[in-house]
Amino acid sequence: MSVSSSVVEQDDALDCMFSSHVPPAPVGEEFDWFAHCEREAAGVEEIDDFKDWIRHCVRPLIPHGALACAHGRLHAWGISLDYLVTVDYPTSYLETLRNPWGHMDTPLARWWYERGTSIFFDADHPPADTPAPWLEHFRQHGLRNTAVDGVLDKENSIATYFSFHRLPTLDEVALRSTFKKLTPLLHRTFARVIHRYTEKTTPLAFKCSTLTSREQDIATYISKGKSNSDIALLLNMSENTVRNYVSRIFDKTGCKNRAGLAAAVVLQEQLRFQIGTKVL
């Protein structure tokens, strides 16, 4: 399949556009872009703030034409991507990634998760195991020269993933050095923005989603009518430990009893099923 002229023109326009958005450093002095980026991140609260921050503060550190930022929940079986925020990104490409359950997945995300390190991808020289249909869509939308990094935040049971596209070059040494400082800042800022967004839009389900993996397991068992002694046997822990977990779960969710918690768990699962990966 050939690339349509409209897609090519859009890609060229975006390449020109992002370079014009990078603010120049002050003349006559050495400007610390990372320190500036870190200071500005403190004021980022909303989705639009985050996108502006990427364009004006992150882009000078990693010049790029398009960025996709994913946020998901960590599970024993992997990551469930719940939200995707794009910056100057061809959103028509994203719809080719949806699975029957509404979630999105790409080889780049899988490679990053499986290998636990930054991924650098040149669409003109792809690895032998690159899926051909995905690569075709990737190339059609001009997503060349890609650098990927992210954070598996096990303490908070979340993951964030950042996929930079249309880089001028793929200097892996320089990019790894930048990622070492920048990715933790991206993670903190993006996680805070999604936290705020979710809290405002789905307050009951949000409170349930803040639970740790173990707390989620216990809450799920409670929603299925299991007693503390049942859960203790299932999870191989003492009943007193389960009781302490349940108390913390009630404190976090604001639920006053097991019935209320069960309703919150069910709502959380319904929302996840209905939304899939939501593009913001």
pLDDT digits (tens, 9 = 90+) for 232-253: 999 999 999 999 999 998 888 8
For the chain, how many structural domains are there in total? 2
C-alpha distance across the termini of the chain, in Å: 29
The answer to the question of residue 185 being in a domain is yes
Tens digit of each residue's pLDDT (9 = 90 or more) over 10-65: 444 444 444 445 555 554 456 899 999 999 999 999 999 999 999 999 999 999 99
The answer to the question of residue 82 being in a domain is yes
State the pLDDT at residue 114. Answer: 92
Domain boundary among 201, 220, 252: 201
Residues 197 and 207 in one domain: no
The answer to the question of residue 279 being in a domain is no
Confidence of residue 166 (pLDDT cuts 50, 70, 90): very high
For residue 21, give the amino acid letter: H
The answer to the question of residue 280 being in a domain is no
Residues 156 and 212 in one domain: no
Domain that holds residue 175: 5-201
Instruction: Give every strand in the sheet of 146-153, ordered side by side.
Output: 119-121, 146-153, 158-165, 66-75, 78-87, 278-279
Q: Which residues of 235-269 are buried (b: 16+ CB within 10 A; e: fewer)?
A: eeeeeeebeebbeebbeebebeebeebbebbeebe
Mean pLDDT across the chain, nearest whole number?
83
Domain boundary among 178, 201, 224: 201
State the pLDDT at residue 121. Answer: 97
The answer to the question of residue 103 being in a domain is yes
- Spatial separation of the C-alpha atoms in residues 208 and 159, rounded to whole Å: 17
The answer to the question of residue 221 being in a domain is yes
Residues 193 and 216 in one domain: no
Residues 52 and 167 in one domain: yes
Residues 9 and 25 in one domain: yes
